[in-house]
Amino acid sequence: MADHYEVLGVDKSASPEEIKKAYRKLAREFHPDVNPEPSASDRFKSVTHAYDVLSDPRQRQEYDQGGSAGFGGGAQGFGGFSDIFDTFFGGGAPGGGGSGAAPRSRKERGGDALLRVEVDLDEVIFGTKRDLEVNTAILCDTCEGTCCAPGTRAVVCDICHGSGQIQRAVRSLLGNIMTSSPCGTCRGYGTVIPSPCPTCAGQGRVRATRKMTVDIPAGVDTGLRLQLPNQGEIGPAGGPNGDLYLEIKVKHHEVYSRNGDDLMATLEVSMVDAVLGSRVRVDALDGELDLELKPGTQSADIITVKDRGVSKLRGGGRGDLKIGVQVVTPTKLSGKEQELMRQFAGSHKSKAPHLAEFQQGLFAKLRDRFLHV
């Protein structure tokens, strides 16, 4: 009895890749369809059997330990058969699942859908609801997803006999080999529909406008996508629905802007109110606010109102409302007003005009202060 390693012409320390390479070379050389010599058939069987044993880690271990694993018989194992295909065709045995493959299901998952929804800034604070109309695929009421006309049903394909696969014999160097491919008559479903539903043309679904109400949570921002599972299109033949995605766009507000969970606005005050101080009532997005201007308020000062910003999308709570002050200097004064200003200037000792470090514009200053308060 020849040693399996000697049959393949490899050392006992050969790697699996080296064993496979040696087998492929010898299989091409001694296959009966390639080599007509009488001894080629026996040599081919020995080569294949040696490879069957040495390519299986368990059998190889038993063989190396002096056991009887793999002795006797020709190329019986599936591993050798598969590698013969690999040797001559560059891949595994054709047909994948072969005759055991199940036919395709007509039911498939529906596609996902994307809608863009605009919301106002004040709606973002506490969340809102939206009534939507979605042009989508819904279940056909006529056939209820069977794809068949009323009173009819799908029948077993008389070509593939319900398997969805066609078996064909292909001649090769190894003789006749069975291959498997989807049935062209039933397209792999295993059944055919003699009388398709006239409403959906045998699809089991139709296009329609579906109305729905969705919740827009507080704290959403432009670009955020909300996933609504199973609210997308229904699949062919009544398959499961896909998902619906809502892409949010927050509309621009004339007064308030947003920085994360904080709201920002600018408050214009008169020079007198800034100098003497005052109480001011303003309209916030969620109700009125009373603000206190301290005497000597300067442009670009920030008034922070806690917990009057946007509700946080995660974690609860709200951001802050930050109001930047802009002191407005009057440009037109009456004669009396000018005289009062002169009297004020005469009684108030202020620094004479002088050069100082360059200052950014008001809005740039406000922006920087907003971000660091």
Q: Which amino acid is residue 286, in one-letter code?
A: D
Report strand pairing: 165-172 vs 244-250.
Answer: unpaired
For the CA atoms of 334, 336, 339, 344, the dihedral, rounded to the nearest 10 degrees, stands at -100
The answer to the question of whether 186 is labelled as a binding residue is: yes
The answer to the question of whether 143 is labelled as a binding residue is: yes
Beta bridge partners of 257: 264
Residue 283: both structure tokens together: 């309209």
Beta bridge partners of 235: 239
Residue 250: which residues within 8 A CB-CB, separation 6 or more?
A: 118, 119, 120, 121, 124, 220, 221, 222, 258
What are the start-end ranges of the H helices in 175-283? Answer: 271-276
Q: What is the C-alpha to C-alpha distance for residues 118 and 131, in angstroms, rounded to an integer?
A: 12
DSSP 179-195: EEEE-TTTTTSSEE-SS
Beta bridge partners of 166: 181
The answer to the question of whether 157 is labelled as a binding residue is: yes
What are the start-end ranges of the H helices in the chain? Answer: 4-8, 16-30, 38-54, 57-64, 78-89, 121-126, 271-276, 335-347, 362-372
Element (H, E) at 247: strand 244-250
The answer to the question of whether 147 is labelled as a binding residue is: no
3-state secondary structure of 137: strand
Of 253, 317, 276, nearest to 122 (Cα)? 253
The answer to the question of whether 140 is labelled as a binding residue is: yes
Contact between residue 262 and residue 307 where contact means Cβ atoms under 8 Å apart: no
The answer to the question of whether 160 is labelled as a binding residue is: yes
The answer to the question of whether 183 is labelled as a binding residue is: yes
The answer to the question of whether 200 is labelled as a binding residue is: yes
User: Residue 221 — left, alpha, or beta (φ > 0 → left; ψ -120 to 50 → alpha)?
Assistant: beta
Contact between residue 54 and residue 63 where contact means Cβ atoms under 8 Å apart: yes
Residue 329: both structure tokens together: 């200097």
Which segments are annotated as binding site for Zn(2+)? 140, 143, 157, 160, 183, 186, 197, 200
Which segments are annotated as binding site? 140, 143, 157, 160, 183, 186, 197, 200
